[in-house]
Chains A and B, each alone.
Chain A
Amino acid sequence: MTVNPEAASINTEYEYGWSNPERYAIKAPKGLSREVVEMISKAKDEPQWMLDFRLKALDIFLSKPMPEWGADLSGLNLDEIYYYIKPEGFNARSWDDVPEDVKQTFERLGIPEAERAALAGVGAQYESEMVYHNLKEEWEKLGVVFLSIEDGMREYPELFREYFATVVPPEDNKFAAVNSAVWSGGSFVYVPKGVKVDIPLQTYFRINAENSGQFERTLIIIEEGAQAHYIEGCTAPAYSSDSFHSGVIEIIVKEGARFRYSTIQNWSHNVYNLVTQRAAVYGNGVMEWVDGNLGSKVTMKYPACYLLEEGARGEVLSIAMASRGQHQDAGAKIVHFAPHTSGNIVSKSISKDAGRSSYRGLVKIYEGARGSKTNVECDALLLDEEARTDTYPYIEIEERDASVGHEATVSKINDEQILYLQSRGLSEDEAAGLIVRGFIEPIAKELPLEYAVELNRLIELEMEGSVG
């Protein structure tokens, strides 16, 4: 039975669009310069190699033009952004050390509840630093590491340096470069060989200061035969001037390992969300991205799986919702480097009120990747006449013995469906909401219950008054 009477009552206190008074220990000047980069590095008390890395990335960033494809970024003024803000009370050891308003923020996000619900390690990011971090003891015994990226760098210097920026180098793209120069905050996860972590590792974070960029950097290493699931959810309060988020997520899935990275992002409607997420997958390893994109002004995000060795598998399930003034340019990348690798992309989008969502995906099969295949399915749902959707499927196949399937559908909520549901007693709004929920169900059912409920709620909020 899928009926769960409890489901509806979870997270009902959740609200979106609030902010706390700003209070910061260090705030860098606006704009990006060598001084800002040095200030960040100094504040973090980093080794010289990291400062050198940052400065090199800064040069790359400055030398690369803004991308000309994808969403319209002309409203993004990179000189008006604060690239580093360090809140007071960062890296508090226990809940009691966390400042009161920060605590309130967390409470609003339901973190203590999440903990009470015996959810695993809760890492929470406030502004650009980890403020609160907690990892279940038994995992520590197993050798599982779940730390802020800064602590990871400090406590596991060799491991960190071995993998950092190997999956997403700063040369990759302009936004990977800016992140490399000013990164701050994010998670470091290491799961040793053969260790299976069944309860998801979770982190919440949010942007609070107006004009604060958030450049989180996450590095995850899943050793041979290990398994884990990492969940990141985030919200941002509504502000009047544009905000910039550019994260880099690097994941290494070793031979026979299995990893899932789930995100539900709900940025306020003025955020430019330009993220590089990529996984390197080795022999028979499995990487799954489950990606929900709500909110933001512009999102450009294409979770990638590089299938590097035989038998590797990559999956990307994504859902995006765009309403007025928003452009969700989201999709996936699957790159087959080795024989018998397989991929699957399911991308769903909902657009309403002149919102625009695009699927942009790349499937590439290199010569020699015999017997490889990827399936792509993208479904767009339009809620009204003004909404817009388009697909940009890029398929490059260099190997004869390989295949790519691509299927795209565009649908509208049809009047017959509404009538059918209304004739059973549901109001018009409830009927439309239910149809939308059904549309995202294939993605929602992959999320833990409380996240699925939250995803549905966020979509309901976006839907309000969209019919009739």
Chain B
Amino acid sequence: MSTATIALGVDQPDTGSRASWAVRDALTVTWRYLLGYLRIPEALFFSSVQPIMFVLLFRFVFAGAINIPHLGYVDYMMPGIFVQSVAFGSVATSIGLAEDLQKGLIERFRALPMARSAVLAGRTTADLVRNIWVVVLMTGVGYAVGFRIHTNPLEFLAGCGVLLLFAYALSWGFATIGLSAPNSETAQVMSFPVLFPLTFASSAFVPVKSMPGWLQAWANHQPVSVVVNAARGLMDGHLALFSSESVGAATLHALAWCAVMVVVLVPLAVHRYRRVG
């Protein structure tokens, strides 16, 4: 092979390490998805409406029927709805990637010299940004319907950080689902069997004690409950009513779950990306 042939490719200056390219590629992909979000205001609007509706539904429809001792339901439910909403938000990762796959964009990306992790990192980061918006929005709506922070703003922000981290880790799981689905509609329904048991069979909306014994075992230990506990401790300050864990322990517990999810789900998704198609 002649060197002249390679010289034709000189448009690619190979500056920077592989790691720095991986970050830059991921940011390029994030930019692409965020622009995409902005270009479809309808999608942005209605995906904002959904978490708001959940807040209003639980606040005004279910609140009267669910009795939480020593606590108003709005304070009980808000941390739960925060976690549930960002978890629902993570499903966008699976839908978006399935769509790109369907349109042949993933094929084009895979033939480019970009980092193998960039498409997934970019997509999950874009969905994280959108989830940040969801959290901001819900804080406002929560306030309007009577939710108050009983800790302090810093702890509240830490709570937001934990649940966003959880949603980010979950996105990598949904990425694998999206890359395994034949199309975006199917990706969405394939995500539900994961999403619903996680978000609803949890301590998010009702105390676990009210569930049948066999379900309690699951509901007490699964990650959404653990993250909800941390959120309850950090955002609302009533954790002691429902758990023997201290706020610090609950937070560490939640962070440990996030770490485990990242360690397991990221390689799984990248593996799937490499052999998709």
Tell whether A and B belong to one assembly: no
Which A residues lie at the B interface, using CB under 8 A?
Answer: none
Which B residues lie at the A interface, using CB under 8 A?
Answer: none
